[in-house]
Structure 1
Amino acid sequence: MVADRRDWTTASFEEGREALKEWRDEHARRSEEVVELWEHVLSRSPSSLADELCTVYEQVCISALDCARTDLAHECINALHKRFPGSARVLRLQAMFYEARSQWKTAEGIYEKLIAADETNTAYRKRRIAMLIGQGKRLESIKALNEHLESFITDSEAWLQLSELYLAESDYARAAHAMEEVLLAAPTNSIYLRRLADIRYTQGGQEHLDIARAYYEQALKFSPQDLRALYGVVLSCNTLLATGRITGDKKKEYTATAASALQRIVERYESIEPDAINPEENSNIIEAVRSMEV
């Protein structure tokens, strides 16, 4: 596994070929390295790639767009177009090329053509929505995502993106609903549980705060060392206690829950090795955490 950044300009042809294949298999987006390998190693003898050549052209094209190398991306697209004129995959790359150059109308026209030819392919629809987001058109993006989800209701990535857009619009109720749809597909994902808890906490009010506390605790079941979730439990309980509109039993429950979470936070900081953090800074953090106790 190629894990560290290295100078690929002196790599052998076979080393470069194997590296690109490995990154494709791992779905690794190592764009700068891909471009470097192509320009300094593989482009010297592209025919030696045999059946891999077109796959490599596509890989290099996407990496070049990531690196704002539209000149190189254009070369790859032209090479692919000569081999596969009218190919949907090549058209998608062309649309991405126009996106990179902010030629939005031209890109949109290509995506519309691709969607009309294959209405079941969600990738083209998502690229069109990503293009709206890239232009900062949040309301249009929200509308397009909702239309997309009417046909593809189980698309978790779309629900997640929709939640983020609603958050940007401070529409917390709809953002929470979208995150709940995400959790239906991944109910044990602690990050999603915590994100939904954050939204509920931000909404405020006793009902939402209690729901937030429950989601933070659920996140901790799947990720017991999650400091953000632990802090979330403490803040939710303390805010609920501050409302003064809770029963005696609930007051005891929230106090005990917050105290337990605080103790776990303190233990985490106390277990940090002295050379990993400034001792004085760590001591100040522990003192600040303890001051959160109601």
Structure 2
Amino acid sequence: MSSSLLHPPSHLPPATALRHSQQAPSVLQNYPGAITTSILQSVFSASETQELWTVYENLLLSCLRTGDDESAHQCLGRLVNRFGDNNQRVMALTGLLKEATAPDNAALDLVLQEYNQILQENPSNIPIAKRRAALLRAMGRISEAVNSLNSLLDMSPTDAEAWAELADLYLAQGLYSQAIFAQEEVLILQPNAWNIHARLGEMFLMAARTSDAPKRLTEALKRFCRSVELCDNYLRGYYGLKLTTQQLLSEASLRASKQTEPQEWPIPASSTLRNLDEVATEKLAEIIRRNSAGETDWQGYDEAEISAARQLLDSHSAARSR
């Protein structure tokens, strides 16, 4: 059995998720469908481990991603047999399976009604509250999804996943200040997560196009610098760092602007910005080169991100050659 089946498939590349779903028939055949509670029978059956149920859950999710609904139903059935259909995590997986196999919006409305009923009986069912918010978003009912997440966070204010989802919803609506606030809450809960620093930097970078550009660009610069400090080979961090330094270097008015608030992080000198731009350029080039060469420790990057980084460097080289 692949060890990657112990990791959530939502974080796996599509090819890996497909490989997992292709393993489903053999996994379901070779591993038990239920664990007996009888001491005598347990002597002759496979032993129960936490890893086994993790595999079933992750296999279920991979099968849903690839359209193998039959195997997904079998995985869910085994989880229900073991933990019962009142287990909150199992209830959420059941709802997810219903969402994935719903033929139309009317069927999705029925799933949403089931979520509402469950939450009416037990408002503290966090997995179902998250599924409800996700379903509302998928149905395009964004304002309701935002309200749902805010209600969830009233109950569980330390839920980083919910804060991140809320930040993404605000960002999709162009509500940059609210998105930044929600993402900063994620950062408080996960201060050493380099991807969260970079995501916050991206929000500041986008927000700089609308207002308060000097402050927001310098904040973006700080977040991208922190992300690559925490992860030396983080492509998105270096990509954002280069975009930010280029904007700051190209806007003389920003560099010359006065900082009106004493607590603001001052805009670095042009020499510092050029040095940061050079570091980002060199690192992006190294990542692209070593990834393209197939070096073992330099794989796993998203192909679209590699392509975007290559285009950024090409455009930078073209601009310098003019």
TM-score by length of 1: 0.70
Structure 1 CA distance, aligned partners of 2:92 and 2:317? 56
Q: Kindly indicate whether the alpha-carbon contact (under 8 Å) linking 1:220 and 1:229 is maintained by their aligned counterparts in 2.
A: no
Partners of 1:274 and 1:45 in 2: CA distance: 40
Choose 257-266 or 47-56, whichever is displaced more.
Answer: 47-56
Residue equivalent to 2:249: 238
1:173 alignment counterpart:
177
Question: For 1:104-148, what per-residue CA distance to the aligned partner results, in whole angstroms no more than 9, with x for missing partners?
Answer: 233224333443554434211111111112222222211211222
User: How many angstroms does 1:171 deviate by?
Assistant: 1.4
* Cα drift, residue 265 of structure 1: 3.8
For 1:192 and 1:134, locate their aligned partners in 2 and report how far apart those are by CA, in whole Å.
23
Q: What is the CA distance between 1:220 and its match in structure 2?
A: 1.4
**Structure 2: 5+ residue stretches without partners:** 34-44, 260-264, 294-310
Given that 2:171 and 2:179 are in contact with CA atoms closer than 8 Å, whether structure 1 keeps it comes out as: yes
Q: In 1, Cα distance between the equivalents of 2:114 and 2:267?
A: 62
Separation of aligned partners in 1, 2:196 and 2:291: 33
Partner of 2:63: 64
Instruction: State how far apart, in whole Å, the 2-side matches of 1:197 and 1:109 are.
Output: 38
Distance in 1 of aligned mates of 2:132 and 2:220: 34
Identify unmatched segments of 5+ residues in structure 1.
1-15
Tell me which residue corresponds to 1:92.
92
| Residue aligning to 2:158 | 154
Say if 1:163 and 1:111 are closer, same or farther in 2 by CA, change over 3 A. Answer: same
Question: How many corresponding residue pairs?
Answer: 269
Kindly tell me: are residues 236 and 100 of structure 1, through their superposed partners in 2, closer, same or farther at Cα, counting changes over 3 Å?
same
Q: 1:167 to 1:291 in 2, by over 3 A?
A: farther
Distance 1:69 1:213, change over 3 A: same
Are the counterparts in 2 of residues 183 and 193 from structure 1 also a CA contact under 8 Å?
yes
Matches of 2:85 and 2:267, distance apart in 1: 69
Match of 2:277 among 245, 251, 262: 262
1:242, 1:194 → 2: CA distance? 25
Give me the whole-angstrom Cα distance separating, in 2, the residues matched to 1:23 and 1:291.
46
Residue 93 of structure 2 aligns with an amino acid whose one-letter code is L
Structure number with greater Rg is 1
Secondary structure of 1:223's counterpart equals helix
* CA spacing shift, 1:99–1:247, aligned 2, 3 Å: closer
2:222 aligns with one of 217, 220, 233: 217
**More relative contact order in 1 or in 2 (CA 8 Å, sep 6+)?**
2
Task: Name the CA distance, whole Å, in 2 between partners of 1:263 and 1:289.
Answer: 15
Q: Is the 8 A contact 1:32 1:63 kept in 2?
A: yes
Look up the match of 1:287: 317
Q: Report if aligned partners of 2:228, 2:238 keep a CA contact under 8 Å in 1.
A: no
Q: 1:183 to 1:212 in 2, by over 3 A?
A: farther
User: Offset of 1:32 from its aligned partner?
Assistant: 3.3
After superposing the two structures, state which structure 1 stretch, 70-79 or 181-190, moved more. Answer: 70-79
1:100/1:285 CA distance change after superposition, 3 Å: closer
Q: In structure 2, what residue type is equivalent to 1:184?
A: I
Q: Structure 2 vs 1, CA of residues 222 and 131 (structure 1 numbering), >3 Å: closer, same or farther?
A: closer
Can you list the C-alpha shifts for 1:252-293, whole angstroms capped at 9, x where unaligned?
Answer: 94422322223324544776869959xxx999556346479x
The answer to whether the Cα contact below 8 Å between 1:145 and 1:158 also exists between their aligned partners in 2 is yes
Residues in 1 aligned to 2:316 and 2:6: alpha-carbon distance in whole angstroms: 44
Work out whether 1:32 is the aligned partner of 2:14.
no
1:201 match: secondary structure:
helix
Give identity over the alignment, percent: 22
CA RMSD of aligned residues (A): 4.1
Kept in 2, the 8 Å contact 1:238–1:258? The answer is yes
Separation (CA, whole Å) in 2 of partners of 1:140 and 1:124: 15
